[in-house]
């Protein structure tokens, strides 16, 4: 895949007011969905948009022409199973069968909606499915509930991918789908071809993972469905511009995406509290493309020999000469 063929996407929430606990109203003016799409199109490098259902839209027949008017396409739709108090003790893992069924039905409606939008994927970030204190939940029944629920969702439409996004914490102190291993275990336990994993670079870093290793693991099982690019300092989901903190890890991650033959979306999941979101998107794509260009120029024969020998100092020398000279 050439650089020009890379599919760059972005979450519409990047263009939100970016509220937080100290300034709930956010740092920017609220925009309509149409205004957000207009700003995304203004980047001139973003083609795909990620939306939330039903927060961002309810009627796909009205949304589709709006997205098309700006020359964009829907790359993914996240099902909102976290942004309402009814999910506070879990959604797909809830011990309340009524709540669990409501979550499953919402996923199914979202799947029908994405097909109408010309998209073939929903994502599930189960931020409320977890626990805050020791002894608070029965871990086994929660795992059983979540696997059964995802299996029902995946079986509903084989033509729509169900992408599990993992994150170790926030808003719960412990989220059920917290690491790449847990997400992969659930996807494999569900056992459906259309159930896979979304790898968010920042979430992997928070979980003390190496994003490249996580990508390789998911790819080995055919479960690497989608990626979110961003960065953080390792303690929290800062959602910074990709490659601004973990430069080497981001380079390695992009190198491995090329090596693995990943041909999906390169989607930006950031929270530019004080930065102009258009400028943040443009700089993100520039960082990604620069690092991909460097990765493609690396001497493959030398890398193979160095890795075979586990030669860390030799690899440092190779990377320094490739990146810093």
Query: pLDDT digit string (tens) for 37-52?
Result: 999 999 999 999 999 9
Report the C-alpha gap between 202 and 186 in whole angstroms: 21
Report the C-alpha gap between 33 and 38 in whole angstroms: 9
Report the C-alpha gap between 188 and 146 in whole angstroms: 13
pLDDT of residue 249: 98
For 149, residues 6+ apart whose C-beta sits below 8 A from its C-beta are 92, 93, 100, 103, 104
Does a structural domain hold residue 316?
no
pLDDT of residue 298: 97
The 10 Å CB-count burial string (b at 16+, else e) for 90-105 is bbbbbeeeebbebbbe
Report the C-alpha gap between 91 and 285 in whole angstroms: 34
Report the C-alpha gap between 53 and 158 in whole angstroms: 19
The 10 Å CB-count burial string (b at 16+, else e) for 24-42 is eeeebeebebeebbebbbe
pLDDT of residue 4: 60
Residue 1: pLDDT above 50?
no
pLDDT of residue 5: 77
Does a structural domain hold residue 59?
yes
Banded model confidence at residue 2, pLDDT cuts 50, 70, 90: very low
For 192, residues 6+ apart whose C-beta sits below 8 A from its C-beta are 151, 154, 155, 158, 162
Residue identified by tokens 């961002």 is 56
CATH for 122: 3.20.20.150
Does a structural domain hold residue 235?
yes
Does a structural domain hold residue 311?
no
- The stretch 68-94 carries a mean pLDDT of 98
Does a structural domain hold residue 49?
yes
CA angle centred on 153, ends 151 and 158, rounded to 5°:
90
Range of the domain at 98: 3-298
Does a structural domain hold residue 314?
no
Q: Answer yes or no: are the C-beta atoms of 289 and 257 closer than 8 Å.
A: no
Record the tokens describing residue 81, joined without a space: 């199973």
Does a structural domain hold residue 305?
no
- The total domain count for the chain is 1
Cα→Cα distances 103→112, 137, 163, 270, 320, Å? 15, 19, 15, 26, 49
Residue identified by tokens 């007011």 is 17
Model confidence pLDDT, tens digit, residues 244-299: 999 999 999 999 999 999 999 999 999 999 999 999 999 999 999 999 999 999 99
Model confidence pLDDT, tens digit, residues 91-116: 999 999 999 999 999 999 999 999 99
Does a structural domain hold residue 312?
no
Banded model confidence at residue 128, pLDDT cuts 50, 70, 90: very high
């Amino acid at each position: 895949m050439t650089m020009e063929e890379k599919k760059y996407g972005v979450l519409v929430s990047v263009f939100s007011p970016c509220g937080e606990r100290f300034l709930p109203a956010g740092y920017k003016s609220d925009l309509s969905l149409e205004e957000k799409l207009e700003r995304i199109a203004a980047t001139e490098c973003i083609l795909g948009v990620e939306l939330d259902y039903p927060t961002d839209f309810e009627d796909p027949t009205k949304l589709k022409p709006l997205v098309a008017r700006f020359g964009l396409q829907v790359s993914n739709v996240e099902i909102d199973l976290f942004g309402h108090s009814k999910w506070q003790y879990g959604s797909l893992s809830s011990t309340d069968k009524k709540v669990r069924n409501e979550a499953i039905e919402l996923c199914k409606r979202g799947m029908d909606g994405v097909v109408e939008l010309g998209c073939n994927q929903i994502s599930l970030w189960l931020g409320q499915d977890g626990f805050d204190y020791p002894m608070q939940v029965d871990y086994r029944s929660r795992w059983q509930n979540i696997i059964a629920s995802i299996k029902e969702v995946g079986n509903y439409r084989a033509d729509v991918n169900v992408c599990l996004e993992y994150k170790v914490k926030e808003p719960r102190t412990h989220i059920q789908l917290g690491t790449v291993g847990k997400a992969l275990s659930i996807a494999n336990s569900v056992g459906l071809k259309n159930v896979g994993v979304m790898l968010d670079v920042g979430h992997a870093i928070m979980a003390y993972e190496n994003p490249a290793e996580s990508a390789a693991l998911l790819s080995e099982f055919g479960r690497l469905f989608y990626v979110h690019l961003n960065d953080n300092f390792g303690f929290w989901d800062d959602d910074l511009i990709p490659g601004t903190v973990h430069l080497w890890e981001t380079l390695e991650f992009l190198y491995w995406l090329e090596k693995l033959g990943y041909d999906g979306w390169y989607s930006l999941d950031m929270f530019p509290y004080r930065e102009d979101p258009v400028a943040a998107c443009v700089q993100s794509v520039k960082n990604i493309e620069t690092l991909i260009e460097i990765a493609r120029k690396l001497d493959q024969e030398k890398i193979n020999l160095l890795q075979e020998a586990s030669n860390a100092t030799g690899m440092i020398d190779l990377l320094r000469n490739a990146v810093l000279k």
